[in-house]
Amino acid sequence: MHVSDFDYYLPPELIARTPAEPRDASRMMVVDPGSGTISDSQFRNFPDFLKPSDVLVLNDTRVIRARTRARLERRNGTSREIEVFFAEPLSSGVWQVLCMPGRRIRPGDRAIFGARAFVGTFQESLGADLHVLEVQSAGTLLDLYGQVPLPPYLARTPTPADDVTYQTVFGQRPGAVAAPTAGLHFTAETLEAVRARGVQIATITLHVGIGTFLPVRAQNPEDHVLRPERYEVRDEDAAILQDALHDKRRITAVGTTTTRTLEFLMSNYGEIRSGAGYADVFILPGFKFRIVDNLLTNFHLPRSTLLMLVSALGGRALVLKAYEHAVCSRYRFYSYGDCMLISKA
């Protein structure tokens, strides 16, 4: 396996800079790995592809306003402006942060937010631009000074509209630094249509971290280390999924984050059990899926771990053929773009 096996050409103008309006107006490509067919549809038709016996699984994380600006005050008396990206809480008042630029930050240096309203102290470096920052009341800090962490490829400043459109309508649990983008297409009406078909809906939480989007630098993807991400599964949702497994009912995951969580639990415990922890499964072609049958997902960056996961479920050759069709048919790509449903009979 080589990282170039997951490459494709994307014209820059196909990167969606803004979401579809309304949410469910996006296009949806339907890929059937069994027959090898690729067809075009609309996301509004998504409920029609579900069976009454199916279970649909959503990720109910919410995106935090993780990107901030601060003044770095160094112990040697110098200062400069930096970006501080709050990646993950490590404990009460302690965060893993990504700083740009951040290579010369040392323990004891301080980050000043606003007019000294919040002061953080750097504890240690985790390599490259990652650091540990001790700062109190981070939630309030981010509410006051944070911005929605739009992906860099959007190449624009967040607007007030992004505070709404970069969240799913079912997101309830703050903690992600990027949206579970397959869920962005759903409206309250879509969810009601899914329930009206008799489909059960279960929710899990996976707080999307920066590890999902770090580039694969190893030539062989198997040498890449995927950073763990925090998950939680509640008792009632674990019971729904366990019953579906027992009855051999189809399970459709909304997004790669949902897929990773479910397959992590099955790989480690052989069942879906409630609880919280860190999911670290890296899904590549050849992976044996134990619970996820179908996947709704957006179109992902070349050479990314997300494209590798999709290729594992749909088949690399077929998925890359689907991506070629998407380019030729002028689908919109990435976070605010259109979606793909990998649907098995």
Q: Residue 59 in contact with residue 173, Cβ under 8 Å?
A: no
pTM: 0.93
Question: What is the mean pLDDT of the segment spanning 273-279?
Answer: 96
**Residue 16 pLDDT > 80:** yes
pLDDT at residue 213, as a whole number: 66
pLDDT at residue 221, as a whole number: 81
Question: What is the mean pLDDT of the segment spanning 76-100?
Answer: 94
CA dist list (Å): 197 to 27, 48, 255: 21, 8, 21
Strand duo 61-63 + 55-59: pairing: unpaired
Question: What is the CATH class of 3-63+161-342?
Answer: alpha beta
CA 131 to chain centre: 22
Closest alpha carbon to 113 in 67, 71, 64: 71
CA 170 to chain centre: 15
**Residue 326 pLDDT > 90:** yes
CA neighbours within 13 Å on the CB side: how many for 145? 22
Amino acid identity, position 139: G
167-223, pLDDT tens digit by residue?
A: 999 999 999 999 999 999 999 999 999 999 999 999 999 999 887 667 777 788 888
Name the token pair of 89: 């809480």
pLDDT at residue 189, as a whole number: 97
pLDDT at residue 162, as a whole number: 96
pLDDT at residue 276, as a whole number: 97
Name the token pair of 302: 């070349």
Sheet with 294-298: strands ordered across: 37-42, 27-32, 339-342, 294-298, 251-254, 55-59, 200-206, 229-233, 275-279
**Residue 45 pLDDT > 80:** yes
Q: What is the CATH number that goes with domain 67-145? A: 2.40.10.240
pLDDT band per the 50, 70, 90 thresholds, residue 133: very high
pLDDT band per the 50, 70, 90 thresholds, residue 323: very high
Higher pLDDT, 38 or 116: 38
Question: What is the mean pLDDT of the segment spanning 12-18?
Answer: 96
Question: What is the mean pLDDT of the segment spanning 120-139?
Answer: 92
CA dist list (Å): 301 to 133, 145, 152, 215, 317: 30, 29, 12, 10, 16
Least-confidence region, from 49-53, 227-231, 338-342: 227-231
Q: How far apart are CA 72 and CA 80, in angstroms?
A: 5
Residue 304: strand pairing partners: none
Mean of pLDDT over the chain: 94
pLDDT at residue 128, as a whole number: 74
Name the token pair of 248: 């051999």
Q: How far apart are CA 105 and CA 279, in angstroms?
A: 29
Q: How far apart are CA 38 and CA 329, in angstroms?
A: 12
Question: What is the mean pLDDT of the segment spanning 152-171?
Answer: 94
Amino acid identity, position 196: A
Q: Residue 206 in contact with residue 180, Cβ under 8 Å?
A: yes
**Residue 144 pLDDT > 90:** yes
pLDDT band per the 50, 70, 90 thresholds, residue 31: very high
Q: How far apart are CA 96 and CA 119, in angstroms?
A: 15
Name the token pair of 317: 């050759």
**Residue 47 pLDDT > 80:** yes
Question: What is the mean pLDDT of the segment spanning 50-78?
Answer: 96
Helix (H) or strand (E) holding 31: strand 27-32
Closest alpha carbon to 36 in 250, 290, 343: 343
Q: Locate the domains of the chain by residue range.
A: 3-63+161-342, 67-145
Least-confidence region, from 13-17, 237-241, 341-345: 341-345
pLDDT at residue 25, as a whole number: 97
